[in-house]
Homo-oligomer: A and B are copies of this chain.
């Protein structure tokens, strides 16, 4: 088996997971260009261990981004399992917007490094479409979302709202825009 596809031993896996979790925090605090030595230090591993798992910055950024989307999708599945149709779609819109606001810099860094057509975007879009699609379909069936809306529409709406985070008083504006959108979803 070539080294790159060999499954990680349990301790190597734990190191990798810890590095990704710490990088998510450090990127959130300092941006996607934060010091990787700082990430290694906080994760309690040597720089060599970090570079063995992630040979370049983009590889670590990609792992953080995939992890964030998986986490988001997991929260979406929980909404689907535990909430009614209307609160689930409202919660999903809020999660999407918060994700886009928090990960804009990371997503832009990945586009710069890997290009828009990178597999990371195809994979993460598929994850969001699956989870979001199930939430929106149920909400449509329950009359909580207009018949003519689909999951892509909601992603574009969340994208539009998330951009306002960059304006003066952006946090409160995002909240007002979300309120308008959610009030209008049922048409």
- Spell out A's residues near B (CB within 8 Å): 146, 148-149, 152-153, 156-157, 159-161, 163-164, 167, 173, 176-177, 179-187
Contact = CB atoms under 8 A, between A and B. Distances in A.
**Which of A167, A183, A187 has most chain B Cβ within 10 Å?**
A183
23 contacts: A146-B176, A146-B179, A148-B176, A152-B167, A153-B177, A156-B163, A156-B164, A157-B180, A159-B160, A159-B163, A159-B164, A160-B161, A160-B177, A163-B163, A179-B184, A180-B181, A180-B184, A180-B185, A181-B184, A183-B183, A183-B184, A183-B186, A184-B185
Nearest to A185: B180
Contact of A173 (B152, B184, B187): B152
Where chain A touches its partner, the secondary structure class is helix
Contacts of A181: 180-181, 184
A171 B176 CA distance: 25
Contacts of A186: 183
Nearest to A184: B184
